[in-house]
Structure 1
């Protein structure tokens, strides 16, 4: 069985999913990760003086290269977003760009952003996109090597990995619903809450919510059958079983798309479902004549009987385990869970490890079949090249399958404990690259008893309050639910998670309040892309607060007509107290969550000319030096007080080289910038360039901290070159005392002291 049509459409759909994701991320990026965003990406890149390769190993992201290219983190990340979106879209349109190297570059770019994305990029579909993206590297041809592209008898082997990933995704998503002991899943009532409590419902969700309870319970039973039983058919050698499983998954994913906005996740899942198809079915869709492979086996009566037996077993098990009974008088179907948690646990122990061996047998079959096809290729060179490719990609497939067993068996403790230690070590070694991941969607049903929603209100006088409406999440009772698939408004999604707990569980929310008080346009555009629709677009609010409400869908009226509003709500409690710029509570929250950064601007003598220059807050010097100057050098040093009482000084360098500057001089400056390092906690370290080799390193205790602060101040007064300092404050020191020490140190060579985020 050959797979060319499928292997072409797999990367095509993945490129489309990646393009949609990156374009959506590029829209949200300035407000989320910009310098004035909620969680600036530059905070995740701590330049510790390590070599580049060490930085890449610790946190694999291309953003480490930004300073070497003369870019700041924000500009570099925006460039990656736009370049990735453009390249993904081009690969979607142009078949010649559906190349293994192109997909490798796309995977590296998305991994680079994932490393600094923090909570806004830590969704399961982001991990899924990374895993499928790496599989595309193995599946897509290397178009630049014609001979390498010709012999691809290994395609079914690499394409099988997509089937295995789909199996892990769906099977785990079904299993975790029951292992979580969520009463709504066990009581089959989850969908009576789901449509109104999901993050961003669609208008059709309102109508689905009005369906009778028996239908919702039957839908839950169907979900369990599709997610737990049907995935085993993915690995079946019988094509009709795979086709049946394919259409079951398509129905489920389409219904999810119609009732909820789950961004590119469902599109990506449908892409993986293509791995269940063969050439014959693809040609049937395209209405093209299909020429069977002479080596392909014929469908016999035994195959048909076996397929009927499998479908009968799934149907019988579903009816038995959920006690399905038809009431012909009322035309309803009753259902209930008749097995216990202990019985389900025994079932899970019974099927988890055998499912691994089922995967082993299925992969072995694909490997042997591919090897046989390689041996049948005419011509020594083609046969040799095909064998080499089979060896390389077969080894890659076996390795990917092996390390995937670790996250897959997380669903059952005994199976996970029996995984070979060598496999576990391999998984640990590559876990930072997100090659394989564990999954489990909709583990517990949230919002039982009403969906919690956080509503932010602003005021100029603390008397008249105005609600701040988001574009997509529920707020206005009369506004219909949005349809935004495949875009993901990541702030709206996190607002849904924030409403499930306290504001301390969502530190970014404090940053959101602070940015809105500052009137930062990039953050406002996350709430309303048309800033004129934002109620405080002319002047930032003086006060902000947030309340928690419970929302419900309205119901159809007694006469069958529709109500005027989509939602109804009830006030529950205060979510975030009233705050304003300079408010002590806001300041303490910013410091507690590590969002408070103290800035001190230094006036220093540049290395290669004698004129003093000042640093501007925006980064490089605000004015380019005259052409007769060789270059300018600006540095920005940030003091950050984190929750453990540690005061860090981050040094960021930016310089502009003019024409005529020798490469040697530029290299010397780069080496100087790299020499600015920070030591371990509790250590002062100074390192300077040029003719003043000042190195001083000593640990301090509480009794001598002021003495050394005075000494440090005097050292800085006498130094005309740049120093990097790291000072660990002790837990027993008050914040006031800590800042007094910082100011004392700063008095040696700093002319201005203020704070910002």
Structure 2
């Protein structure tokens, strides 16, 4: 350890933070996985089972592809996360604490990996792989009065480094706006799900946006090298990272990406640093058990071997973002927003109960929990909760048609059927559970109102129609497009 530093308190705080994120992730799975990727989901579970081998994407749901198994697994994950959150392994006798902790964290990892590998597009985010990778390393931290293996602390710092440095590199290599420092002129308006502060951040002076874009480069490209430095440099680097992620939390809704990065920054501290700011101190620790030290060394060898491809990718001119190089998501490559969209497009889904469509037909909009629909609605705060449908609608709107979003027409079918589980994913069903006769999807370009416009109209957004995404259709017409329409 650096200059005799200890990490017992670091482990306790880290495990509590990770357990909380696991709890949130399993709650999201319990509420959303079945309508999105279950037996009759928008991307049905059978598509996963038929499309890959178990070896390629292992999951419990490959073996038991049922909604019942999904529900049981999600709620078991919630329960086990709660046990980890309150620190149940620490209540056990010393000789049982670490084995129990390893079993608990290993079970959480296996359960969540099952959702990630079977979730298809709706689980194709970088923070899913990062939670799997971090959760796997947590298995080897130990529990009770024994000291955690220092090598695992370093491996957690290595995850944080790849997360931050990879994001910095992909920005420099990607969009010109990151190099000319104009990226944040657009980001707050065009990010997937803006929050209540995003409008205000967007209207900050251009000079501020230049300074914060430059600061982004410093924090992602230079600061990460200090994670491995002795104290207090490591802690200062971790503190800078937490402050940076905190600003992203305040100004956007990025699911648990920022929260997980903050949790990963905890191992940059030491017990001495944490004890100076927390109302508790670390007790005298017992030596790390030999079997745990041996397991940690084997783990380090595995991570080094699996890091070769992610590091090559990170240093490549054709760097991929948010990619797993092994089916267990053990060592991944990260990086987000290599390109920044200049215009914000939204798909607004509407329905009607009229039997015949005419120019006078009255259409009513479905409202979503996170993404903009009503220009007068203030952007909501939803993170660290993850609204998976809303995120995919943001991606879908980038294209003028649903050809690249094979789930979208199935989504329209569920609306025409007034499917309860799908409607639960929405903020408002304008038909109160009744079936509409027709639905359609209109594509708009959205922009934030200026301060003057908002003062006059009360609107947060201004929008203009740019096209029809899906023309008015009935349930029979969609079902006639093929057996997989639903």
TM-score when scaled to structure 2?
0.89
Q: In 2, Cα distance between the equivalents of 1:540 and 1:415?
A: 48
1:169 to 145, 163, 170: 163
Distance 1:404 1:454 in 2: 39
C-alpha contact 1:8 1:140 (8 A) present in aligned 2? no
Q: Give matches, 1:252-651, under 5 Å.
A: 252-287=244-279, 386-413=289-316, 431-446=326-341, 448=342, 450-461=343-354, 462=357, 463-501=361-399, 502-528=401-427, 533-557=428-452, 563-583=457-477, 587-588=480-481, 590=482, 595-596=484-485
Distance 2:264 2:468 in 1: 44
1:226 aligns with 2:228: no
Larger RCO (alpha carbons 8 Å, 6+ apart): 2
Distance 1:169 1:163 in 2: 10
Deviations for 1:104-144, whole angstroms, at most 9, x for unmatched residues?
00100011112210110111111111110101112233x6x
Partner Cα distance (2:339, 2:439) in 1: 32
Runs of at least 5 residues in structure 2 that lack an aligned partner in the other structure: 91-99
Give the deviation of 1:247 after TM superposition.
1.7
**Counterpart check, 1:139 vs 2:131:** no
Would you say the 8 A contact 1:103–1:133 is kept in 2?
A: yes
Residue of structure 2 equivalent to 1:19: 23
Cα–Cα, structure 1 residues 91 and 392, in superposed 2: closer, same or farther, change >3 Å? closer
Which residue of the partner structure matches residue 105 of structure 2? Answer: 103
Q: Which residue of 2 aligns with 1:60?
A: 58
Structure showing greater Rg: 1
In the alignment, the residues of structure 2 paired with residue 434 and residue 508 of structure 1 have an alpha-carbon distance, to the nearest angstrom, of 25
1:668-707 correspondence runs (5 A):
none
Write the deviation string for residues 359-379 of structure 1: whole angstroms up to 9, x where unpaired: xxxxxxxxxxxxxxxxxx9xx
Q: Which residue is 1:251 aligned to? A: 243
Shift of 1:241: 1.6
**Superposition deviation, residue 388 in structure 1:** 4.8
Distance 1:550 1:286 in 2: 47
Contact conserved, 1:195 with 1:205, CA < 8 A, in 2?
Answer: yes
Q: 1:557 is paired with a residue of what secondary structure? A: helix
Equivalent position of 2:97 in the other structure: none
- Are the counterparts in 1 of residues 61 and 114 from structure 2 also a CA contact under 8 Å? yes
RMSD: 2.6
What are the superposed Cα offsets for residues 461-492 of structure 1, whole Å, 9 maximum, x if unpaired?
Answer: 32221121112210101111101121111001
* Equivalenced residues, count: 463
Query: How far apart are residue 45 of structure 1 and its match?
Result: 2.5
1:286 offset after TM fit, Å?
2.0
> Cα–Cα, structure 1 residues 47 and 191, in superposed 2: closer, same or farther, change >3 Å?
closer
Query: d(CA) in 2 for partners of 1:413 and 1:80?
Result: 39
Distance 1:74 1:525 in 2: 16
1:17-72 CA-partner distances (Å, limit 9, x unpaired): 01011112211123213334312224422499xxxxxx753542222443xxxxx6
Instruction: Give CA deviations for 1:418-460 in whole Å, capped at 9, x if unaligned.
Output: xxxxxxxxx96xx1111111111111101x1x31000011122
Task: Rate the CA distance shift 1:292–1:93 in 2: closer, same or farther, 3 A.
Answer: closer
Q: Provide Cα deviations, 1:675-728, integer angstroms capped at 9, x if missing partner.
A: xxxxxxxxxxxxxxxxxxxxxxxxxxxxxxxxxxxxxxxxxxxxxxxxxxxxxx
1:650 matched residue in structure 2? none
Cα distance in 2, alignment partners of residues 437 and 398 from structure 1? 16
- 8 Å CA contact 1:579, 1:586 repeated in 2: no
For the residue of structure 2 that corresponds to 1:457, the secondary structure is strand
Deviation at 1:292, TM superposition (A): 11
Residue 38 of structure 2 is matched in structure 1 by 34
Whether the aligned pair in 2 keeps the contact of 1:188 and 1:220 (CA below 8 Å) is: yes
Alignment CA distance shift 1:47-1:494 (3 Å): closer
Contact 1:16 1:92 in 2 (8 A): yes
For 1:234 and 1:94, how far apart are their aligned partners in 2?
A: 27
Q: Residue 475 of structure 2 aligns to a residue in which SS?
A: coil
- Is the 2:149–2:292 Cα contact (8 Å) retained in structure 1? no
1:79 to 72, 81, 97: 72
Determine if contact 2:161/2:224 at 8 Å carries over to the other structure.
yes
Structure 1 stretches of 5 or more lacking a match?
49-54, 67-71, 144-148, 294-376, 417-426, 597-756
If the length of structure 1 is used for normalisation, what is the TM-score?
Answer: 0.58
Deviation at 1:519, TM superposition (A): 1.7
